[in-house]
Each structure stands twice: as C-alpha cells, then as structure tokens.
Amino acid sequence: MEENESKEILSKIQSMERELFFLKERVLSLSQSKTISKPIPSELPKQIHPLDNKETVPLEEGPNWFIQWIGQNLFVKLGVFSLILASVWFFYLAIEEYWINESVRIWIGILSSLPVLWYGYKTKDTRPYLSPSLLGLGIAVLFSAYYSGYVWYDLYGTETCFVGLILLSLTAVGISYAEKSEVLFGFASLGVFLSPILVSTGQNSYPFLFTYLLIWNALFFWIRKEMEWKVIPLIVLFANHLIFAIWAESKLQDAKLFYPLAFQIGVYLLFLIREFQVLKANREKEPVLTLVTLGFTLGLGFIQAFWIFGIFYPTLKPFLLTLFLLSFYMIYSRSLKEITLTEKAKSTYDIVGLFGLPLIISVIVMGMTGKTLAFSLISFAFVVTMASTYSKQMYMYLATFPVWFFALLYAFAFTYRSFNEIPFLNGRFVIFATGSLYLVLSYWYSRNFSPFAKLFLYVAYPYFLLGNFVEIHLGFPEEKRLFLYSICLIFYGLCTLVIGFKKEIQSLKVAGFVSLALVIAKFYLYDFWNLSLGYRILAGLFLGITLIVTGTFYNRIKKETV
C-alpha cells in the first residue's frame, strides 16, 4: 500500500517537472522571437533625404515671429481699436441725429465703463501691468460721463456734481491703496485736483480751495508711508504748485494772507517730512527720485514763499526766507538722528545738504548791497566751510569753493576811491583782510579733513597782497606806487619767511621766497629803469637788507640741519 502511494507521488513530481520544463521552453521561444523581430542595422548607412533631416520650427520662433506677432497681437488690437472707433462714430451720429436723449447718453457712458472695470479687475493677477490702466480708464470714463451731465446738459447742480466727482476720486484712491497701484493712484489724483477746477464758477473762493487741497495732501501723506511710489510724489507736488500759481497770478494781491500761506507751509512740511522718512528707509538703495522730490519741494516752496512775502512783507522778505530755509535744515538734521550712515548713505545725505546753499546765497544777495553784501558772502562761505568740516560732509565742503570764488571776486567791484577815504583804513581793505583771515582759518581748521584745504592757504596770501596793491593804487600818486609795491612785497615776503622758518611751515617759506623773487625781478627789470633816483636808492636799500636777512636765515637753517 505504501509502495503504491510513493509511486503515485513520484509520478506527479515527474509530470510537474515536465510541465515546468515546457513552460521554460515557451518563455525562451517568445524572448527569441522578439529579439529577431528588431531591425538589425546594416553596415552601409541608410541614405537620408535632406528634407527628412530638417526639424520643424514653431511659428513663434525663427524668422516667422513677426508674422506671428502681427496675426495674434497686432490684428487683435487693431480690431478692438476699430470697434471702438466705430462705436464712437455711431455714438456721435446718434447725438447729431438726436436718436438718444441727454440722460441716455450719460447712462451709455456710465454703462460702457463697467466692462472695462470688470475686465481690469478680472486680469489683476494674470496681467498686473494692464489691469491698473484698465481700472483707471474705467474710472476716467465714469468721471467724464458724470461730469458731462453737469457741464453739457445741466442734469444736476454744482454741489451735486462736485460731491459725485469727489466720491469717484476717493473710490479710486481706496482701490489704488488696496491694490498698491501707483498708476491707478495717478488717475485718482488727476480727478482729485480737477474736481474743484471743473466745477468752479469763477468766484474767488480760495479758502475752500486751499482747505480742500490741504486735506487731500494730508491724505496722500498718510497713504505714502506704506507705498514705494516714485513718480506720484513728483506729480502731486507739481499739481499743488501749478494750481497755486494759476490762482495767484491774478488773485494773490487781492487775497488775505492766511490761506495761501497756510497751504504753502502745509504742502512744504508734509512733503519734506514724508520724503525724508522715505529717504531714511531707502538710504542704502538708489533714491534718485526721492532726492529729486526733495529738491523740487525746497525749490518750488522757496519760489512760492518769495512770491507771497514779496507782496505781503517786502521788507521782511530776506528774514522770512531765512527762516524758511532753516526749517529745511532742521528737518534734515532730525532725519539724521538714530541712524547709522554707511559711506553710500552719507554721500546721499551730503547731496541733500547742498540743496539749500544756492537759496541761502540768493537770500544774502537780495537782502544786502555793496560792501555789506561782500562781507556777508565771505562770512557765509567761511561758516559753511566750518560746518561742512565739523559734520564731515565732503560734498558741502567742495560746494563752498564756488561760493568763495564769487565772494572774493565781488570785493573787486569796489575798486574806486570814495570821498575822504584813507588808504588801508576803509571798508574795502577790511573785506580783503577779513577774506584772507577767513581763508587761513579755513585751512587751519580743515587741514586734517580734506587734501583740498591747502587751496585756502595758497589763495589767502595773494588775495591779501592784491588788497594792498588796490589800496596803493587808489590811495597814492603814480610816482610813489612802484616804490610802495616793492616795499609791500619786501615786507610781507620777509614776514612770511620769518614765520615759515619759525613754525616750520613750508608753504609760508615758498610764499615768502616767491615774493622776494618778484621784488628782485621787478627791481632789476623795471624799477631800475623807471624809478627816480631817490626811490631807486630806497628800493635798493630795503631789498639789500631783506636779502641779507633772508640769507642769514637760510644759512642758520643749513647749519642746524648739518
């Protein structure tokens, strides 16, 4: 029994082995058939036609891009523009033939703006550059349609029209603030500034106008703090001053002072404070337009203040304009507190510090004349040099050089002799002497700050000599002038040499040496042939003594250094 069972099991195992072998053979046969079916590459290369080797080039690439742009872009835009033209012509024809009445015309304008607004809102994410323009265009169409009902058809009164225009403009302001869109805010600003002008009836209601504009500028001041807008501040600034200039041209003289002055001061302070805050936040960037806005704020504000003060306070105009400029530098100094300036940011603030210099000079020029003006200009140049050295502002320091040039040159405008004038004891010589002293002090104070400080020292001595020559030329007769010129050069040359040797100041040694060289050249080339015998003897005597003293100094220095 057991033997039968074992045979049966063995037979089953053998049958399973045969079946497994059969399946294995089947798999091998299938795999061989697949490998045989693959094309075997021939040894000879297959001939390929040139057209079969070319790759297909998309229509938007290669030489066909222009055709693609015309077909998909330009044709569509021209089609839209053609439809708009046809609609405008049809609307004009309907008005001419009176197919539609006044109220329907206004509603057509209002309803036509809705698709533009809807599409502008829909594409705010997909087309961020197109969307603000469409929204602004839609609001402009609404604005124009609503205003047309007032100006052409008298559908509502002035107050109703003004309120409606303001609501539309403020709506645009709110949308621009929510979307942080500078373009849309530009459309809104245009509506805000145009609203009082469009509904004006010609009455001189300037208190309302300036109060309204001041409130709008305060709103812009609040919105601007969170926006990195660049062009809008300039546009708003110019709009303010343009409206004021148009009004003031014919009505400022008949108006009261408070409202125009309050408006100008408000705009001036709001823009300065806000733009200085923007500059403080972006001082490490390239705030070019912020600097331009600050410059125009100061310049236009100064012009308008000059205009106002010239009418209401002509005698106090220089003083009031000085206070105007001081307020600029107070806000400037306040903006520098609690910040650390890098080299780049410091250069930016140095540029801002220069904005007021030409205006300060203009105040000095308009407030004074004659020798008082010359003395004031020299003193101003000296003070600015000291201030720029103390604050380490190189741009302001360099800007003092043209001021110095003009101030020193202006003293020569008084090279004429006044009645009962005493040589070397008059206001003209005081200006020369003071200018030379200021130049020496400017060198001494800023010699460690700037390598250009030596220019002050090189100018101080010749300028003082020129002042002496002017006094000799105007105060003494012609026969004494040549002799006194020589004596002047000898005296100051000897003094500078002595001080130069005592204090070891090389520039003074050079100045003294040059002075004596000029005296020697003048004596032998000119005085020897033109002076009278008495003056020739005196000139030679003084020159000889001076040269002996000078040689003694040089020999002593040589012995000490050997």
CB-CB contact of 283 with 295 (8 Å): no
Residue 521's H or E segment, with its range, is: helix 506-522
Least confident segment among 241-255, 394-408, 505-519? 505-519
Q: 64: how many CB neighbours lie within 10 A of its CB?
A: 13
* Residue 430 pLDDT greater than 50, yes or no: yes
Determine the average pLDDT of the residues in 266-283: 88
* Residue 42 pLDDT greater than 60, yes or no: no
Determine the average pLDDT of the residues in 63-86: 53
Question: Ranked by mean pLDDT, which of 165-179, 337-351, 423-437 comes out on top?
Answer: 423-437
C-alpha to C-alpha distance for 519 and 547, rounded to whole angstroms = 10
Share of the chain above pLDDT 70, in %: 67
Band the pLDDT of 272: cuts 50, 70, 90. very high
pLDDT of residue 270: 92
The residue that leads in pLDDT, 126 or 302, is 302
Band the pLDDT of 345: cuts 50, 70, 90. confident
Please name which of 475, 510, 515 lies closest in space to residue 491, comparing C-alpha atoms: 515
Determine the average pLDDT of the residues in 340-366: 80
The ranges assigned to domains in the chain are: 101-201, 204-367, 531-561
CA distances from 155 to 100, 103, 169, 229 (A): 15, 8, 20, 38
* Residue 73 pLDDT greater than 60, yes or no: no
End-to-end CA distance of the chain: 141
Band the pLDDT of 212: cuts 50, 70, 90. confident
Determine the average pLDDT of the residues in 509-533: 65
C-alpha to C-alpha distance for 110 and 107, rounded to whole angstroms = 5
C-alpha to C-alpha distance for 148 and 501, rounded to whole angstroms = 88
pLDDT of residue 49: 45
DSSP-assigned letters across all residues of 236-266: HHHHHHHHHHHHHHHHTTTS-SHHHHHHHHH
DSSP-assigned letters across all residues of 430-447: HHHHHHHHHHHHHHHHHT
pLDDT of residue 109: 65
The residue that leads in pLDDT, 155 or 232, is 232
Q: What would the 3-class secondary structure string for 142-195 be? A: HHHHHHHHHHCCCCCCHHHHHHHHHHHHHHHHHHHHHHCCHHHHHHHHHHHHHH
Band the pLDDT of 341: cuts 50, 70, 90. confident
DSSP-assigned letters across all residues of 332-367: HHHHTTT----HHHHHHHHHHHTTTHHHHHHHHHHH
User: What pTM does this model have?
Assistant: 0.58
Phi and psi at residue 285, in whole multiples of 5°?
-95, -155
pLDDT of residue 361: 80
pLDDT of residue 263: 93
* Residue 349 pLDDT greater than 90, yes or no: no
Least confident segment among 318-322, 364-368, 399-403, 520-524? 520-524
Determine the average pLDDT of the residues in 308-313: 90
Q: 259: how many CB neighbours lie within 10 A of its CB?
A: 16
Please name which of 263, 268, 265, 176 lies closest in space to residue 223, comparing C-alpha atoms: 176
Q: Tell me the average pLDDT of the chain.
A: 75
CA distances from 70 to 81, 130, 512 (A): 15, 20, 81
* Residue 391 pLDDT greater than 90, yes or no: no
Determine the average pLDDT of the residues in 477-491: 76
Tokens for 194, please give them.
Answer: 């145009």
pLDDT of residue 102: 60
Tokens for 423, please give them.
Answer: 């040589």
* Residue 100 pLDDT greater than 60, yes or no: no
* Residue 16 pLDDT greater than 50, yes or no: yes
Could you read off the pLDDT of 113-125 as tens digits, one per residue? 667 667 766 766 6
CB-CB contact of 266 with 216 (8 Å): no
The residue that leads in pLDDT, 59 or 430, is 430
Phi and psi at residue 486, in whole multiples of 5°?
-65, -45
* Residue 74 pLDDT greater than 80, yes or no: no
Determine the average pLDDT of the residues in 182-205: 73
- 499 Cβ partners below 8 Å, 6+ apart? 505, 508
pLDDT of residue 87: 59
pLDDT of residue 46: 44
* Residue 503 pLDDT greater than 80, yes or no: no
* Residue 293 pLDDT greater than 70, yes or no: yes
pLDDT of residue 305: 92
pLDDT of residue 57: 45
* Residue 255 pLDDT greater than 60, yes or no: yes
CB-CB contact of 212 with 196 (8 Å): yes
pLDDT of residue 529: 55
